[in-house]
Amino acid sequence: MAIEKVREYFKTLGIEDRIREFEVSSATVDLAAIAVGVEGARICKTLSFKTPEGGCVLIETAGDAKIDNRKFKDYFGFKAKMLTAEEVIDFTGHAIGGVCAFAIERDDVKAYTDVSLKRFETVFPACGSDNSAIELTCDELHKYSNAVDWIDVCKLPEEV
């Protein structure tokens, strides 16, 4: 199970006890917000995109943010094309609903953290399953996901 890989990874950091598992699904932003008890914007969703070289880019973003295709293309130099559900599992080891940038074993997967998250002191990414989350500061999220950089490739609801 992917959550066990994440738990083992977090154990090396001494934070495995911070993982929260729920009796209910946290597979969507709305469900995760209910399970955790916070506004949906504080849920960190991890979006997966194909690279032209056959790799994968993961973007950790706020629950209320959407990818801005122009910003994405300007930053990465290619058009945003999301992975299929099967490709997500292949690249990350996590199924949709539990995707996170933790415990990724492939070198062709690069994580980035979007600035949309910086509005919050803490955020709640999944931990590899559709009923888990962990509360992290934005700096912890960026560090523990081995993110390449902070980027600005999203738009918030008021910008739509």
Res 159: pLDDT? 66
Res 39: pLDDT? 97
- Report whether 153 contacts 133 (CB < 8 A): no
Q: What sign has the CA pseudo-torsion 109, 111, 112, 117?
A: positive
Residue in 79, 88, 75 with CA at minimum distance from that of residue 48 = 88
Just give the CATH number of 2-159.
Answer: 3.90.960.10
Res 1: pLDDT? 64
Res 158: pLDDT? 79
List average pLDDT for each run of 10 residues in the chain, which is 160 residues long: 92 97 95 97 98 97 97 97 96 94 96 98 97 97 97 87
